[in-house]
Chain A
Amino acid sequence: MAEYPTPTSEQEFHANFAQLKPRMNSSEALFESSRCLFCFDAPCIQACPSGIDIPQFIRQINSGNDTGAARTIYEANYFGNACGKVCPTEVLCEGACVYNLQDVKPIEIGRLQSFATRKAIEEEKPLFTPGIPNGRKVAIIGAGPAGISCACELRALGYEVDVFEAKAQPSGLTVYGVAPYKITNEEVIAEMNYLQQQFGYSVTYNAPISSRADLQKLEEKYDAIFLGIGLGRTNALRLPGEERENCVGAVEFIEQLRMNHHATAVGRKVIVLGGGNTAMDAASESSRMGADSVILAYRRGKEDMGAYEFEYDLAKGVGVKGLFHVAPIEIVGNGKVEGVKFIRTALHEGQVQPVPGSEFIEPCDMVIKATGQAKQTQFLSLIPGLEVDGKGRIVADERTGQTTNPRYFTSGDARNGGAEVVNAAAEAKAAARGIHEYLKTRS
């Protein structure tokens, strides 16, 4: 029996995907902000990759200066609302809240953050203006958290900025890849519009930069180029039967879901392969889309999963069942997926080893592979002198984001291998400073 009825309308979709961190009303914000102790050298700030002065913005909310709170947040992180909603706050700011040590519920920092930023967005409060034009131009490839954050910071520093985006909408995985119960498309886009209105960078959509010729044009026209390209498609498993209908990649599945909502087709019995946060999302989402059963299959034990514990709890909470110590060896079926052939695994001298003779078939009508995203190594090879490390990540200066081709800078998933929106936002802001540092010394 399904945990959720299959949604057949936008309304039913939103009911199944109710926001995990719903918007606070002003009374709730007052109560919650009143609880903050305003720690000295607060651990929440230290835990925030973008270093938002959290006690400051909470104090601002508490004293009725919501716009000032939004400014505090945006000055540190241009994805203020998005991060309030999609950040794994349980392991970041809220996880660091000193109340945890007192067995008191930590301050709901993420929701307070969104309270302030959404109010500023909806009231169109102007917080920023572009800097005085300095005559230099920067091209940004990718309108994701890294690209847009870099664009905002560069505009503040007086650069002319053109962003080139392969897809039709900005914000990257925030709108295309985050689970729908974490943030709605509307609020993501509203924040993007809010930023663009204030900073005035240009974004060209449906404009993939994919060839050497494309890059050449950018190199000729711009003083520096920022790579905010993120990661690619879901890695192939290289298993027999992987090409069968209804065997899909998690990234692609989630993008479908974000764009098409209830019109997305989901099987009755879904098997999700993987143990990371994306696997948890895909499993939860399948269940919320009305699947009768959702199995999360992982080749090691549950404690070995890369996913945050609260993400697994979330999946379990909507009826997802874990199947551990199993490795897929074949996607079986006749044209369409009919099951996954697994072999049980055991740890042998620290290595995951198949247990001979333990093969079994778990029937299903859909397989979602959440086995990591591919690096864009083929594209990166088109940039002269650009080095990538052994894991396919772009090699760049930790502080400035400058790559081994000095005119190229980068941050976000393409450089860190895949992290949170907040990491991309923080790193890209620093990279913009790096670009500025580089260009201001060149005549």
Chain B
Amino acid sequence: MPDLSINFAGIKSPNPFWLASAPPTNSGYQVMKAFDAGWGGAVWKTLGVPVVNVSSRYGSVNYRDKRMMGFNNIELISDRPLADNLREIEEVKKRFPNHAVIASLMVQSRQEWHDIVRQSQEAGADGIELNFGCPHGMCERGMGSAVGQEPDVLQTIVEWVMEVAKIPVIVKLTPNISDITEPAMAARRGGADAISLINTIQSIVGVDLDLFAPYPIVDGKGSNGGYCGPAVKPIALNMLKNCAQHPDVRLPISGIGGIETWRDAVEHILLGASSVQVCTAAMHYGFGIIREMTSGLEQYMTDKGFNTIYDFVGKALPNVLPWEDLNMKYKVTANIHEEKCIGCQLCYTACEDGAHQAIKLNAGTRVPEIIEANCVGCNLCSLVCPVEDCITMDRQDDGTAHLTWKERTEANDIPTEFNDEKAGGRHHWVPEPAAALGKEKHKTLPGKARQFEKITVTE
């Protein structure tokens, strides 16, 4: 049985799954319920001077029939008095001494930071997370992402915190910045014990077509909010990788962003996270999803022979390279497994219109055919194919040659002029532009157009 427990910068937790600082951690009731359900830790809804919220706070991005693929909110930090929150933190810690309770904090002055850090410690919090990420409402008041976007300010505040902190301090970073490693390094310089990322991305999730207002709508108006949910995972993973690979960051990272299943969590861990935080998925499905997450993680670790989380933290990092270090001699081409093909021809139209015209149709069959010579190995067909393993990308080179852009650059073997002979697509076949006209019009304009094409009506 693998050991799921972690020690994250000194914060111990029975498993790496923490609830992120957000509505699910608004009260002791919710956090106790979550721990009861199996969550390993919780970052409390951000404490500070209590706020006043608006009504209508969340917006969603749906994809076809799937709801909340993306999610945003315009809610602020905790609107409950600090004393109530601290009393409940204490109560939770008494009941769950081995679970991680982290106090998320956001205040302004040095004195306020000192006071709130001390009070959180006295309440029994296992750690502190500094909310330098909130991209709406609070940033306009000089807090949240306003801090996360100014590394010097961030460092100063971390230093204030470290003056009184006796428990581990995590700095939560905002993705609303061009290079996330800058604030990450500032956090390190300030003496923080760890970082967490990403906070939400400044967003408008949609516009109401009838009311001409952005979601969520407050009395006919809206405001930018913070974006999260499954859709943001790719952005989070990249920023996580940037911090995890940076030689000057070197801090434990709590991964946040689009984690809904054990797979998402494993991806974060493989790119360097040693704890993960979840919010949208819990808001969507409730705390019960933890059972699938721990079960999946456990099974994965068993299958891979990993005994602890640390056996695979950052295990994918060595395989994430700058583009210039990729092997240009590696060559794959698409292979359609005819017996699995259902004839939707999505690969054909995708390649024809969206890629390199490397798939053709033959009379008498709906199974498309790869034109090997034109296939650049882009993956598009295999990505649009609805049948599992129907289109595979098969290796064509023998694996012996290795040449990178960097090496070519050093060897002066790269195109440098506009019409350079070394242009990658120079000898790649492309159809004559005019060959597109009228091509398969009867297939791309089906229905009525097809049926009556033979009967031309001139009025």
Q: List A residues at the B interface (Cβ < 8 Å).
A: 30-31, 33-34, 37-43, 45, 50-54, 56, 62, 72, 75-76, 98-99, 101-102, 157, 399-400, 426, 429-430, 433-434, 436-437, 440
What are 26 A-B pairs at a CB distance below 8 A?
A30-B65, A33-B65, A34-B64, A37-B344, A37-B346, A37-B386, A39-B344, A40-B345, A40-B443, A40-B444, A41-B345, A51-B446, A56-B447, A75-B448, A76-B447, A98-B343, A98-B344, A98-B366, A102-B386, A399-B454, A426-B451, A429-B451, A430-B455, A436-B457, A437-B455, A440-B458
Q: Is B349 an interface residue (CB 8 A)?
A: yes
User: Chain A residue with minimal CB distance to B456?
Assistant: A437
Interface positions, chain B 313-358, Cβ under 8 Å from A, are: 342-346, 348-349
A76 contacts B454, C-beta separation under 8 Å = no
> Is the contact region of chain B dominated by helix, strand, or loop, or is it mixed?
loop
> How far is the CB of A150 from the nearest CB of chain B, in Å?
14
Chain B residue nearest to A158 in the complex (CB): B459
Contact indicator A51/B451 (Cβ below 8 Å): yes
Known contacts A40-B348, A51-B450, A437-B455, then 19 further A-B pairs from the complex at CB < 8 Å, ordered by chain A residue: A33-B65, A34-B65, A39-B344, A40-B345, A40-B346, A40-B444, A41-B440, A41-B443, A45-B447, A50-B451, A51-B451, A72-B447, A75-B447, A98-B344, A99-B342, A101-B342, A101-B343, A157-B457, A440-B458
- Please tell me if B51 contacts chain A, counting CB pairs below 8 Å: no
Most buried by A among B64, B443, B446: B446
- Enumerate B421-459 residues with CB–CB distance to A below 8 Å: 440, 443-444, 446-448, 450-452, 454-455, 457-458
Number of interface residues of B (CB under 8 A): 26
Measured CA separation A102–B385 after assembly (Å): 12
A56 to B448, CA, bound (A): 12
In the bound complex, residues from chain A placing their C-beta under 8 Å from that of B454 are 399
Determine if B387 is an interface residue (Cβ-Cβ < 8 Å): yes
Complex: chain B residue closest to A400, CB-CB:
B455
Complexed CA–CA distance, A54 and B446 (Å)? 9
- Which residues 43-66 of B have a CB within 8 angstroms of A? 64-66
Q: Assess whether B346 is in contact with A39, with CB atoms less than 8 Å apart.
A: yes
What B residues does A53 contact at CB under 8 A?
Answer: 446-448
B446/A430 in contact, CB under 8 A = no
CA distance A429 to B342 in the complex (A): 32
Please measure, in the bound complex, the distance between the C-alpha atom of A436 and the C-alpha atom of B387, giving whole angstroms.
46
With both beta carbons as reference points, the residue of chain A lying nearest to B443 in the complex is identified as A41
Pick the 10 closest A-B CB pairs, nearest first. Answer: A53-B447, A34-B65, A34-B64, A40-B345, A41-B443, A40-B349, A101-B342, A51-B451, A98-B342, A39-B344
Residue of B nearest to A74 (CB): B448
Which of B66, B343, B440, B454 has the most chain A CB within a 10 Å cutoff?
B343
**Which residues of chain B have C-beta atoms less than 8 A from A40's C-beta?**
344-346, 348-349, 443-444
Task: Report how far A39 CA is from B447 CA in the complex, Å.
Answer: 14
Give Cα A38–Cα B347 distance, bound, in whole angstroms: 12
CA–CA, A430 and B386, complex, Å? 36
Distance in angstroms between the alpha carbons of A136 and B41 in the assembled complex? 81
A76 and B451 form a contact (CB under 8 A): yes
Cβ-defined contact, A38 with B440, below 8 A: no
**Chain B residues, Cβ within 8 Å of A62:** 64
A41 vs B440: C-alpha distance in the bound complex, in angstroms? 9
The interface residues of chain A lying within 8 Å CB-to-CB of B440 are: 41
Tell me the minimal C-beta distance from A111 to chain B in angstroms. 15
A127–B196 Cα distance when bound, in Å, is: 56
